[in-house]
Amino acid sequence: MAGRRHAVWAGLSLALALVVGCGGGPAPDAARADVQHVLDRRAEAVLERDESAYRGTEAPVSGGRDHPAAGTAEFANLRGLPLASWSYRLTGFHRSGDRATAEAELRYRIRGYDKVPITAARALTLTRDDGTWYVASDEPAERAAEQLWEQGAVRAVKGERSLVLGVGQSAAALRGYAALADRAVPAVTEAWGDGWAGRVVVLVPRSLDGMAGLLGAPASGYRGIAAVTTGETGGSPKAPADRIIVNPDAYGVLGGLGRQVVLSHETTHVATRAATTAATPLWLSEGFADWVGYRGAGRTAVQVAPELQRAVLEGRAPSRLPTDADFGFGGNATQLAQAYESGWLACRMIADRWGEVRLNEFYRAVGDHERRAGAVEGALRDVLGTTPERFTEQWRAYLRAQLG
């Protein structure tokens, strides 16, 4: 699942805190610069793995400076994260005497994977003691997602083509994810081509609730969903690496083939990110990812599309390709399954009838449009030499032939 194709690392608007200076004009509060300096020292401490320096930026809890704030535990959780950069930029500052609240943009890169930093919106509270500012709390901003280290100590396992970061997971379990991801990458490259990074980052939280926290969304919307991929729609080659986020509760009940298909599906979203735009309908992006996931698995249409077969046999075969709304995670489970199966069979039909090369060309041609209107119609005409009406009829006949 592509995570609704919304990037989860959006920045905040810049807000300037001004006070009236002696000359009557606005002058910047020096406290803002002091707080930025504290955050710079905090970032340096994270990169240098200097716990003492990090503790020096933390406000004490009751009991004095020997009792640091909870952020020190998060510092320890970060030890397993291979960081290339870490920085803060204040975007808002609001002071009241010796207390202040602030908004900041956290920017960090994972070594060997992120070409540019991921950004995360943070909300901070600060206190001043003897002229020095300290961080009392550092949390996700309102409606922003959690970061993995906020859920516990991060354990990292590096595969040949993957980096797996987990919380509450054994090293053996994470090596299993890495092995599947390492197999997924070349399989996706064989199907799509090598014009992508050729490596993936997989996040494995402790539970469904942890997955929801990383997505900044209610857990109920992802129950039964084994994994999603987050990233920038139409992202450039300089975009941060996509994250495949696993729901260990749903993933854990899958068999060996199911687990491989899930990671191959999500890896396909990583590979096709630059070619997937607002013009790309979900039946195509999800159907193509499933097509790659099952490609070479030796499974029949009946085995892969049981819900759609049931509808065909009961005379309820769909009359149209699924809309984006049909892919809603919080909706009817049968409808969702039929939507995925329908998209998969549409892509499988293109590969069978026009060839795999044309399927790739069709995918790219749709994404090349600036907007949704006319994108599929134009690609059907230019790449496949057909019309939406004829394509839909061919797809419905294909359903009957494969599932009837």
200-226, pLDDT tens digit by residue? 999 999 999 999 999 999 998 898 899
Threshold 0.95, pTM exceeds: no
Tell me, yes or no, whether 286 and 272 share the same domain: no
Q: Name the strand (E) or helix (H) holding 69.
A: none
Tell me which DSSP letter residue 66 carries. Answer: T
327 plus 394 within the same structural domain? yes
CA separation (Å) from 149 to 52, 78, 119, 165, 206? 19, 6, 15, 10, 11
Which of 213, 323, 345, 187 lies closest to 266 in space, CA to CA? 187
Is residue 403's pLDDT more than 90?
Answer: yes
| Same domain flag for 315 and 287 | yes
User: Measured between alpha carbons, how far is 260 from 97 in angstroms, rounded to an integer?
Assistant: 56
Cα–Cα distance between 241 and 219 in angstroms, integer? 24
Domain holding 44, by residue range, is 3-144
pLDDT at 3: 46
Cβ neighbours for 256, distance < 8 A, ≥ 6 positions apart = none
Answer yes or no: do 213 and 197 share one domain. yes
Phi first, then psi, for residue 28 (nearest 5°) are -70, 145
Same domain, 240 and 130: no
DSSP-based three-state secondary structure for 200? strand
Cα dihedral 163→165→171→175 (10° resolution): -30
Alpha-carbon distance of 100 to 121, in angstroms, equals 17
Residue 314 and residue 388 share a domain? yes
From 94, 129, 144, give the residue that closes a domain.
144
Of 218, 252, 276, the last residue of a domain is 276
- Cα separation of 208 and 221, whole Å? 10
Poorest-confidence range of 18-22, 52-56, 248-252?
Answer: 18-22
Three-class SS of residue 62?
coil
Per-residue confidence (pLDDT) for residue 347, from 0 to 100: 98
Mean pLDDT value of segment 48-70: 78
How many domains are contained in the chain? 3
Tokens of 223: 């129950």
Q: Which two tokens stand for residue 204?
A: 């494995």
* Average pLDDT for 175-183: 98
Tell me the CB-side half-sphere exposure of residue 150, using CA atoms within 13 A: 16
Judge whether residue 157 has pLDDT over 50.
Answer: yes
**What would you report as the CA-atom Rg of the chain, rounded to the nearest whole angstrom?**
24
Helix, strand, coil shares, percent, the chain, to 5: 45, 20, 35
Percent of the chain with pLDDT over 90: 83
Q: Does residue 111 sit in the same domain as residue 61?
A: yes
Structural contact between residues 107 and 118, judged by C-beta atoms closer than 8 angstroms: yes
- Does pLDDT of 33 surpass 60? yes
Q: Is the pLDDT of residue 15 over 50?
A: no
How confident is the model at residue 28, as a pLDDT?
56
Mean pLDDT of 85-113: 97
Q: Are residues 317 and 395 in the same domain?
A: yes
What does the pLDDT read at residue 256?
A: 96
Is the pLDDT assigned to residue 383 strictly greater than 70? yes
Q: Per-residue confidence at 236, pLDDT binned at 50, 70, 90?
A: low
Q: Residue 4 has what DSSP assignment?
A: G
Q: What is the CATH number of the domain that holds 164?
A: 3.30.2010.30
pLDDT value at position 240? 80
pLDDT tens readout for residues 389-400: 999 999 999 999
pLDDT value, residue 71: 78
Judge if 191 and 299 occupy the same domain: no
The pLDDT of residue 8 is: 35
Q: How many CB atoms lie within 10 A of CB 349?
A: 22
Q: Are residues 338 and 367 in the same domain?
A: yes
The C-alpha atoms of residue 27 and residue 20 are separated, in whole angstroms, by 6
Q: What is the pLDDT of residues 340-362, one digit of tens each?
A: 999 999 999 999 999 999 999 99
Q: Residue 294: pLDDT above 50? A: yes
CB 379 within 8 A of CB 390: no
CB 125 within 8 A of CB 38: no
Tokens of 159: 């595969």
Q: Do 175 and 102 contact (CB within 8 A), yes or no?
A: no
Is 119 found in the same domain as 94? yes
Please tell me the predicted confidence (pLDDT) of residue 18.
29
At residue 316, the pLDDT reads 94
Residue 1, CA atoms < 13 Å, CB-side half-sphere: 23
pLDDT at 5 over 50: no
Does residue 302 carry a pLDDT above 50? yes
154 and 176 part of one domain: yes
CB 17 within 8 A of CB 239: no
Do 217 and 229 form a contact (C-beta atoms < 8 A)?
no
pLDDT at 69: 57
pLDDT at 27 over 70: no
Residue 295 pLDDT greater than 70, yes or no: yes
Sheet holding 162-167, edge to edge: 154-158, 162-167, 200-204, 243-246, 227-230
Taking only the tens place, the pLDDT of each residue in 145-154 is 999 999 999 9
Contact yes or no for 60/66 (Cβ under 8 A) = yes
| Percent of the chain residues past pLDDT 70, beyond the cut | 88
On average, the pLDDT of the chain sits at 90
The pLDDT score that the predictor gives to residue 20 is 32
Q: Which of 95, 121, 144 is the last residue in one of the domains?
A: 144
Q: What is the pLDDT of residue 17?
A: 31
